[in-house]
Chains A and B, each alone.
Chain A
């Protein structure tokens, strides 16, 4: 009697990441951030630098929204017709409030630590790619832990390596972050592309019904 009842539930949670569309969309966001930081570095002496700094929040929120929409659109077209549709539970009431409070507290803590250890040091901004790599690595590793998918641990490790490497690379402020996001987006596109290719190979599209006469 083999009644491993956790496995189907875990597979259902993992299903969101089965086709690589998440990595492709997330890679798109990283590419957007790479372009943003490159533009900021290139226009450092221009009046547009200040304007770009103000736009970062908009880029992050808009980018996050686009990632979500893009992932859903890709799944609607590629995944749901092949292996079915799943919608996930949204936390309600107290649990939702606690989750939001934890996210806010974590963001405040990270921002505080950044100010203390990075902005407060001479040449502290050189550490920004390392810190960014650490934060992204932690988030990606958490996804790996939740889904038990090895590729996310590998992505998290690469994020750390890119961050650490670019912190000591000596690249100018802004360009180092552009390089970090560019490298991360490249890796995400590669992982997402390979996962999508394997998914499409293993799950051919549904056969179309013949035309009625």
Chain B
């Protein structure tokens, strides 16, 4: 396997799924976001978003807190330190892959 392909294969696949990478990109930029905001941002159905959030929570990348704002139920999602580090690593991996691809194309 070439170095280029190996670097792509090493990318964190849990994060690499487009909807999950958007969820993490949002949570990386803020302190917390609720379920409705993430749904608006990702365009996912409630069921699909719940599944993705559960997977990220199981991996320890986010924490999900069920609370109330007045009388309205609120599901707040936060990125954990582990998730923050994993997302930073993922971005670096992607950047490296893009750089390598660009470099190879120039050589050809």
Asked whether A12 lies within 8 Å of B31 as measured between CB atoms, the reply is: no
Interface of A: prevailing SS:
helix
10 cross-chain CB contacts under 8 A: A3-B18, A5-B21, A11-B26, A76-B69, A84-B37, A85-B33, A85-B74, A86-B32, A87-B31, A87-B32
- A7 CA / B29 CA spacing, docked (Å): 10
Asked if A84 and B29 make an inter-chain contact with CB atoms under 8 angstroms apart, the answer reads: no
Known A-B contacts A85-B74, A89-B31; A9 and B25 likewise in contact (beta carbons under 8 Å): yes
- Tell me if A104 is interfacial: C-beta within 8 Å of chain B: no
Interface size on B, residues (CB 8 A): 25
**A83 beta carbon closer than 8 Å to chain B:** yes
Query: Could you give, for residues 133-154 of chain A, a 1 whenever the CB lies within 8 Å of some chain B CB and a 0 otherwise?
Result: 0000000000000000000000
Contacts of A83 in B (CB 8 A): 36-37, 40
Chain B interface (Cβ < 8 Å from any Cβ of A): 18, 21-22, 25-26, 28-41, 69, 72, 74, 76, 91, 94
> How far, in angstroms, from A83 to B32 measured CA to CA in the complex?
14
A90 within 8 A of B: yes
B30 touches A85 (CB 8 A): no
Whether the pair A88, B37 counts as a contact (CB closer than 8 A) is no
Once A83-B36, A84-B37, A85-B37 are accepted as A-B contacts, the answer to whether A9 and B31 lie under 8 Å apart by CB is: no
Q: A3-B21, A85-B74 are in contact. Are A9 and B28 (CB under 8 A)?
A: yes
